[in-house]
A and B are shown apart, each in its own frame.
Chain A
Amino acid sequence: MNATTIPLRQPRRSRRVLHLALILCAVGFMGLFLILPLATVFVEALRKGLPMYLDAIAQPGSLSAMRLTLWVAAVAVPLNIVFGIAAAWSMTHFRFPGKALLGALIDLPFSVSPVIAGLIYVLLFGAQGWFGPWLEAHGIRIIFTATALVLATMFITLPFIARELIPLMQAQGSDEEEAARVLGAGGWQMFFRVTLPKIRWALLYGVLLCNARAMGEFGAVSVVSGMIRGLTTTMPLEVEMRYNEYDHVGAFAVASLLAMLGLVTLGAKTFLEWRHRGELAAHAPGSH
């Protein structure tokens, strides 16, 4: 037992019963709503045995979907890292008119339905959209290509890193940066030597969540993908396709890869928290 959790008075029997009941309630709820669905994925994927499972994963469709998913995340996440840092820096170290509005705009993609997130890019870049005809005349196509997938994914994941960094940077203040400046550090020097080390673990945490969401997005990408197998189908779309092909094991096999990715993300996150409690503590999304 951890010393901080022991109340001053020794727990009475009735209180221990209450503790146990509350713990059981929490575990029961999470078991019902989170753990069972996760278990279902793996059970269904392995229903016909390991060889079938591996076979389903090794199909060219899954492999190209994996490549595309990784590619989309590899483009969207770094762009969001730069955005998150820039947004957090400007939001926490400066005062300017319209700051509250900017904060609201950063959060906006959270409340936009994924279907709408896809639709807006069709309205912009579709053949009948604002820029579609001009782009087409110049031989450029954005909609129904990997570019559109990246855009839709960026939209969905835009708030993740900024949300992670803003409360932390707010709490840390700007004293150290100012000291670095007074001691003659250049702007980038200050950023890489002072700011980045201070926020790196929170940043990494944000990146992990952003990455997991980017790889798993379904609604928005399904609107802008065009579903060309091998070219514009990401893993979540591949799951739906397999499901629609009566390839149950295949669908759940690809799904289990995504689930494992999620679990690895969560594992890495827990590890980070364990190693760097102080730096990460108390700054989950939305705590500002």
Chain B
Amino acid sequence: MKVKTLLLMVCLAAAANVVHAANLTLLNVSYDPTRELYADINRAFAAQWKAQHGDNVTVQMSHAGSGKQARAVVDGLPADVVTLALAYDIDAIADRGLLSKDWQQELPDHSSPYTSTIVFLVRKGNPRNIKDWPDLIKPGVQVITPNPKTSGGARWNFLAAWGYALQLPGGNEAKAREFVKALYRHVPVLDAGARAATNTFVQRGMGDVLIAWESEALLAQQEFGKGAFEMVVPSVSILAEPPVAVVDANAARHGNAAVAKAYLEFLYTPQAQAIGAKHFYRPRLAAAAQTSGVHFPAVKTFTIRQWFGDWRQAHAKFFADGAVFDQIGPGH
């Protein structure tokens, strides 16, 4: 009797498996500011996949700081795809053999479907008259930016400031170092993440200027009412390219390789690009920006490849233990 019941249960389970085989679950491990973006993307992708293949795709999301997420994946968080703030974090996962080391060649545009840049958010009326990078180190100005050790966005902020000083006429390493060091002297709070920094600036009323992703600045303007805050675009900034990749080892094990790849490729379609633009990420397709109705101001940008080689080199030079940030960051 017992054996029979057991057999029956096994059969039922197997049958259930066949019936529900068309239910796919994908885990996308991402960083903090992309919650709203991927909520929309996942809905659109699920609809498209259902139409094309008849299967239901549920994309589960995990959001936290980019570095923390990379570590979680290395420690066994079963991500099928990672969509992080900077390439170094995916490099770190690749170093553990979970995906190919040349993952950046897998998808167009260095595997980065959207871009953003680094801008300033100031209080209503711009009382401190912040126009460009040098204004941040004027006496008495307080700057809010998160900790580059724990926040991916903060690393882009750091490199944007460094690159600005470097590209000035007569700019060099020593001058860039001086400028960034001076900048961090104006930082009263070093939050762990980009969102925490925005909360400190917006909700707690700390600081005169927030250095932030353009997408975050535009979102904050929208969330907290136009006019309460103003976005200031500096003369030159960095082209931030948040990358995406399939974690091959996990996706293969879950039997999700095909859908994971399709998911990331979907990001490059006009539909997904328009969703990205709606959430204030600069799409790679110029047309998508126009249809979204979001105005992305013209910014002169430089890429990480232009001044810093690649993310591995930038990380080793600036953010590793005992590297430049540890030498010139706050408290020095």
Chain A interface residues (CB < 8 Å from chain B): 122, 125-129, 132, 136, 141, 143-144, 226-231, 241, 243-246, 248
Contacts and interface: CB of A to CB of B under 8 A. Distances in A.
Interface residues of B, number: 27
B64 interface: yes
Contact of A144 (B72, B199, B219): B72
A227 B199 contact: no
Nearest to A229: B61
Interface string B60-89: 111110000000101111100000000000
**Ranked 4 nearest A-B pairs via Cβ:** A127-B76, A126-B75, A244-B195, A226-B77
Contacts of B198: 246
Contacts of B36: 245
A128 B75 contact: yes
B276 interface: no
B196 interface: yes
A229 B32 CA distance: 13
A226 B72 contact: yes
A228 B75 CA distance: 15
Contacts of A127: 74-76, 96
Given A244-B193, A244-B196, A126 B76 contact: yes
Given A227-B62, A228-B27, A246-B223, A144 B77 contact: yes
Nearest to B58: A230
A132 B74 CA distance: 11
B43 interface: no
Given A122-B75, A143-B76, A244-B193, A230 B32 contact: no
A132 B76 CA distance: 8
A227 B64 contact: yes
A141 B73 CA distance: 13
B300 interface: no
Contact of A244 (B32, B96, B220, B223): B32
B35 interface: yes
Contacts of A128: 74-75, 96
A248 B199 CA distance: 10
Given A126-B76, A231-B60, 15 more contacts: A122-B75, A136-B76, A143-B75, A144-B77, A226-B62, A227-B62, A228-B62, A229-B60, A230-B60, A243-B199, A244-B32, A245-B36, A246-B198, A246-B202, A246-B220
B42 to A, nearest CB: 11
B203 interface: yes
11 contacts: A128-B75, A141-B78, A143-B75, A226-B62, A228-B27, A229-B61, A229-B62, A244-B63, A244-B195, A245-B195, A246-B198
Contacts of B32: 244
Contacts of B72: 144, 226-227
A241 B96 CA distance: 28
A251 to B, nearest CB: 10
Nearest to B194: A244
Interface string B141-184: 00000000000000000000000000000000000000000000
Nearest to A122: B75
A128 B77 CA distance: 12
Instruction: Point out which of B72, B74, B223 has the most chain A C-beta atoms below 10 A from its C-beta.
Output: B72
A144 B75 CA distance: 9
Interface in B213-227: 219-220, 223-224
B33 to A, nearest CB: 9
Nearest to A231: B60
Nearest to A135: B76
A189 to B, nearest CB: 32
Given A228-B60, A229-B63, A231-B60, A246 B199 contact: yes
Contacts of A245: 35-36, 195
Contacts of B96: 127-128
B36 to A, nearest CB: 8
Contacts of A122: 75
Contacts of B75: 122, 126-129, 132, 143-144
Contacts of A243: 199
